[in-house]
């Protein structure tokens, strides 16, 4: 961040120029809009004594709240996807009995998976809806570092799952150990991972479109 640019903004504010005027002056001489907006966002206005008032920073409590919400979303998403995967594994074993692999999973796990899904998925759905409404009311939160970290973490994990899953299928195929059940189980993992990956990739695209639109409009 240029100290020269920051000094100019402070001087211009003290002389009574509005933020819009300062932005227009700077962009007309070649300064990037994103850099100008970033510096201007650090100042609110002038007080009655003509002193520059710094813009209020995001409250610490709000940051902690966002971390909590996104962390619970991540945990409940993980629990829900694991529960769905377990139930689909059981369904595959039931429909396509494979006496070599049918005892890989304890049937006690069905009740646990159902209970896990009943608890985790409603929480995930509620918090995801809460975040969506919050983004509508406060679209600037699409630029939140916390949000980006959570989304990219989910994308990373699901991408690793998908790649590992495909690698395992190919390895078993080449070694002649790929059974129908193994293939279907791998397909379940891959489909769940890709559905989650696609959903959050779309979220990233929407965030990028918002930022591009914001920069284009000069806000």
Question: How many structural domains are present in the chain?
Answer: 2
Q: What is the pLDDT of residue 85?
A: 93
Q: Which residue has the higher pLDDT, 107 or 190?
A: 190
Whether 105 contacts 85, CB under 8 Å: no
Residue 57 has pLDDT above 70, yes or no: no
Decide the pairing of beta strands 43-46 and 52-54.
antiparallel
Helix axis angle for 60-95 and 108-137, nearest 10°, is 140
Q: What is the pLDDT of residue 99?
A: 54
| Whether 31 and 84 share a structural domain | no
Instruction: Output the CA torsion sign for 87, 107, 183, 157.
Output: positive
| Whether 69 and 44 share a structural domain | no
Pick the last residue of a domain from 17, 37, 54. 54
| Whether 140 and 183 share a structural domain | yes
| Whether 112 and 191 share a structural domain | yes
Query: Whose CA is closest to 117, among 81, 150, 171?
Result: 81
| Whether 12 and 102 share a structural domain | no
Residue 75 has pLDDT above 80, yes or no: yes
Q: What is the pLDDT of residue 102?
A: 52
Q: What is the pLDDT of residue 55?
A: 43
Residue 119 has pLDDT above 90, yes or no: yes
| Whether 203 and 95 share a structural domain | yes
Q: What is the pLDDT of residues 88-104, one digit of tens each?
A: 988 888 887 655 555 55
Q: Of 59-73, 88-102, 177-191, which gets the smallest average pLDDT?
A: 88-102
- Looking at residues 67-74, what average pLDDT do you find? 95
Instruction: Output the CA torsion sign for 17, 23, 24, 26.
Output: positive
Phi/psi for 67 (5° steps) reads: -60, -45
| Whether 67 and 8 share a structural domain | no
| Whether 73 and 118 share a structural domain | yes
* CA angle (197, 200, 201) in 5-degree steps: 75
Residue 48 has pLDDT above 50, yes or no: no
Phi-psi region of 218 (alpha: psi -120 to 50; beta: other; left: phi over 0): left
| Whether 68 and 158 share a structural domain | yes
Share of the chain above pLDDT 70, in %: 82
| Whether 43 and 78 share a structural domain | no
| Whether 30 and 116 share a structural domain | no
The residue range of the domain holding 156 is: 60-217
Please tell me the pTM assigned to this model: 0.69
Q: What is the dihedral of CA 20, 136, 57, 6, to 10 degrees?
A: -30
Pick the last residue of a domain from 54, 74, 93. 54
- Looking at residues 56-75, what average pLDDT do you find? 81
Work out the mean pLDDT of the chain and round it to a whole number.
Answer: 82
Pick the last residue of a domain from 54, 73, 93. 54
- Looking at residues 153-176, what average pLDDT do you find? 92
| Whether 34 and 96 share a structural domain | no
- Looking at residues 159-171, what average pLDDT do you find? 93
Q: What is the pLDDT of residue 139?
A: 83
């Amino acid at each position: 961040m240029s100290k020269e640019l920051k000094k100019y903004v402070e001087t211009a504010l003290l002389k009574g120029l509005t933020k819009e005027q300062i932005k227009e002056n700077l962009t007309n001489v070649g300064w990037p809009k994103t850099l100008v907006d970033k510096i201007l966002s650090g100042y609110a206005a002038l007080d009655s004594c003509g002193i520059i008032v710094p813009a209020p920073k995001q409250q610490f409590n709000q940051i902690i709240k966002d971390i909590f919400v996104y962390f619970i979303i991540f945990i409940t998403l993980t629990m829900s996807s694991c529960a769905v995967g377990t139930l689909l594994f059981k369904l595959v074993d039931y429909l396509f009995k494979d006496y070599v692999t049918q005892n890989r999973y304890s049937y006690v796990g069905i009740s646990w998976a159902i209970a896990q899904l009943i608890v985790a998925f409603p929480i995930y759905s509620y918090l995801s809806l809460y975040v969506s409404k919050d983004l509508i009311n406060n679209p600037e939160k699409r630029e939140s570092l916390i949000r980006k970290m959570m989304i990219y973490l989910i994308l990373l994990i699901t991408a690793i799952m998908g790649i590992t899953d495909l690698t395992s299928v190919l390895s078993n195929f080449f070694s002649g150990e790929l059974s129908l059940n193994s293939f279907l189980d791998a397909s379940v993992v891959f489909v769940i991972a890709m559905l989650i990956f696609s959903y959050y990739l779309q979220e990233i695209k929407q965030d990028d479109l918002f930022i591009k639109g914001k920069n284009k409009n000069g806000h």
